[in-house]
Amino acid sequence: MKEPKTALDMYRMMLLIRRFEEEAARAYSLGKIGGFLHLYIGQESIAVGAAHALKPTDSVVTTYRDHGLALARGMTSNAGMAELFGKVTGCSKGLGGSMHFFDKEHRMYGGHGIIGAHLPLAAGVAFASKYTGDDGVTMVFYGDGSASIGATHEGMSLAALWKLPIVFVCENNQYSMGTSLERSISVTDMSKKADGYGMAKDRFVAEDVFEVRDRLQVAVDRARRGEGPTLVEILTYRYRGHSMSDPAKYRTKEEVEEYKNRDALNRLRAELDAAAETRAELEALEASVEAEVAESIRFADESPEPTADLLESTTYAGEFAR
């Protein structure tokens, strides 16, 4: 077993994300979470692999399918679940909700609801790193559904032109809501877009979290050396619908089952179970994840709600302008 300690850490985080998302889905069905809820189930290896390729002083930005990345970067499950429940103890004080997880301390800059619009934002974060010379790298995640919209193109175009220290990670889960990839885009190999910008690229399937980490590391190091952005397309799958209101009738049950059989989480667990040194840790590890997630539900249930006096100070810094 290579890197047993790291493997256990990665497994714990992937399992934590998986169980967090499953419990969030249950809480949603009980009416404790409202609005939109986009689950990361099946894509955990990307967030966790990425977190292990980045330094704490690097930055991340992602779409509204953001719980996994936030947890992987160090947000507590308490702060996450409380945010989903709309409580003031949530990471965004209950004002953002599922789509707007932000954690400034861990340089997780959202959590964005408008497709593609966060790519120029991420390019701005990378620009600031280059401007100040702080050696930081920014990693921005987007889905296959974001590949065609204007802001995505403008963000990549400027990042490539100015050789910003940024890595663009396309989490290609083959569907943008109900529309399959081949109905969305003329060239389904998304990594080829990099050629148009003269950007480095990579493309692989996310079955092994170590592979995710190692290949993203190449891109991160390239950015840190000042050689400009990389577009990394990672093929993955979400086992649930686009969000809680999606019955996902656009794919067959057989297709979903097939992808579940290739689940990176289960694969890693099997490897850990096969090695004696790590097998012993599994039961305690899994129990601690269950306890952590259960605690986050209790914490969220019992936390108070935000009050109206928060509204003014979170709209403007300083005096409210009307």
Partner 1 sequence: MARVVDMPKLSPTMEEGQIVTWHKKEGDSVDVDDLLAEVETDKATMEFRSFDRGTLLKILAPAGAMVRLGDPVAVFGNAGESTEGLAPAAATKAPAPGAAPTAAAPTAAAAMQSAAPATPPSPSEAPLVAASLGADGRVKASPYVRKLARERGLDLLRVSGSGTGGRIVARDLTGTTPATAIRAIAAAPVAKSPVAVSPAALPAGREPTIKPLSMMRRTIARRLTESKQQVPHFYLTIDVDADALFELRARLNADLGRKVSFNDLVVKAVAVAIGRAPEVNAQFTPDSLIYHRRVDLSVAVAVDDGLVTPVLRNADQKSLLQISEEIQALSAKARDKKLSVEEMTGGTFSISNLGMHGIDEFAAVINPPEGAILAVGAIRNEPVVKEGVVVPGKRMKMTLSCDHRVVDGAVGAKFLAELRKVLERPLQIVAS
Partner 2 sequence: MKSMRVREAIREAIAEEMERDERVFLMGEEVARYQGAYKVSEGLLDRFGEKRVIDTPITEAGFAGIGIGAAMVGLRPIIEFMTWNFSAVAFDQILNNAAKLRQMSGGQLSVPVVFRGPNASARQVGSQHSHAMEHFYVNVPGLKVVAPSTPADAKGLLKTAIRDENPVLYMESETLYSVKGDVPEGEHLVPFGKGRIAREGKDCTIVSYSRMVHVALEAAETLAAKGIDCEVIDLRSLRPLDEDILVQSISKTHRAVVAYEGWPYGGVGAEVVDRIQRLAFDELDAPILRVTTLDFPMPYNAKLEQHVVPQAQRIVEAVESVTYRSV
Binding site for partner 2 (CB under 8 A): 59, 61, 90-96, 100, 102-104, 109-111, 113-114, 117-128, 131-132, 150-151, 154-155, 157-158, 161, 310, 313-322
> Binding residues for partner 1, how many (CB under 8 A)?
17
Q: Which residue has the tokens 């499950």?
A: 77
- Torsion on CA atoms 289, 291, 297, 300, rounded to nearest 10: -100
Residue 174: CB minimum distance to partner 2, A: 26
Contacts of 130 (CB under 8 A, 6+ apart): 162, 164, 165
Residue 63: CB minimum distance to partner 1, A: 20
22 binds, among partner 1, partner 2, none (CB under 5 to 8 A by kind): partner 1
Q: Which is nearer to partner 1, 57 or 288 (CB)?
A: 288
Residue 102: CB minimum distance to partner 2, A: 4
Give yes or no for residue 198 binding partner 1 (CB under 8 A).
Answer: no
- What tokens does 196 get? 């148009």
Q: Which is nearer to partner 1, 6 or 266 (CB)?
A: 266
**What is the three-class DSSP state of 23?**
helix
Taken in order 69, 75, 81, 84, the sign of the CA dihedral is negative
Q: How far is CA 48 from CA 8, 43, 256, in A?
A: 12, 9, 22
Length of the chain: 322
229 binds, among partner 1, partner 2, none (CB under 5 to 8 A by kind): none
Task: Report the DSSP beta bridge partners of residue 61.
Answer: 140
102 binds, among partner 2, partner 1, none (CB under 5 to 8 A by kind): partner 2
* b/e per residue 151-187 (b: at least 16 CB within 10 A): bbbebbbbbbeebbbbbbbbbbbbbbeeeebeebbee
Give yes or no for residue 175 binding partner 1 (CB under 8 A).
Answer: no
Q: Which is nearer to partner 2, 121 or 248 (CB)?
A: 121
26 binds, among partner 1, partner 2, none (CB under 5 to 8 A by kind): partner 1
Indicate which single residue of 28, 101, 109, 142 sits in contact with partner 1 (rule: CB under 8 A).
28
Residue 164: CB minimum distance to partner 1, A: 39
Q: Which is nearer to partner 1, 22 or 207 (CB)?
A: 22
**CB 248 within 8 Å of CB 238:** no
**CB 201 within 8 Å of CB 234:** no
Contacts of 253 (CB under 8 A, 6+ apart): none
Using CB under 8 A, which residues numbered 210 to 249 contact partner 1?
A: 239-240, 244-245, 247-249
294 binds, among partner 1, partner 2, none (CB under 5 to 8 A by kind): none
184 binds, among partner 1, partner 2, none (CB under 5 to 8 A by kind): none
- Helical (H) or strand (E) element with 171: strand 166-172
Rounded distance, CA 60 to CA 54, Å? 9
Give yes or no for residue 22 binding partner 1 (CB under 8 A).
Answer: yes
**CB 297 within 8 Å of CB 23:** yes
Give yes or no for residue 262 binding partner 1 (CB under 8 A).
Answer: no
Footprint of partner 1 on this chain (CB under 8 A)?
22, 25-26, 28-31, 34-35, 239-240, 244-245, 247-249, 253
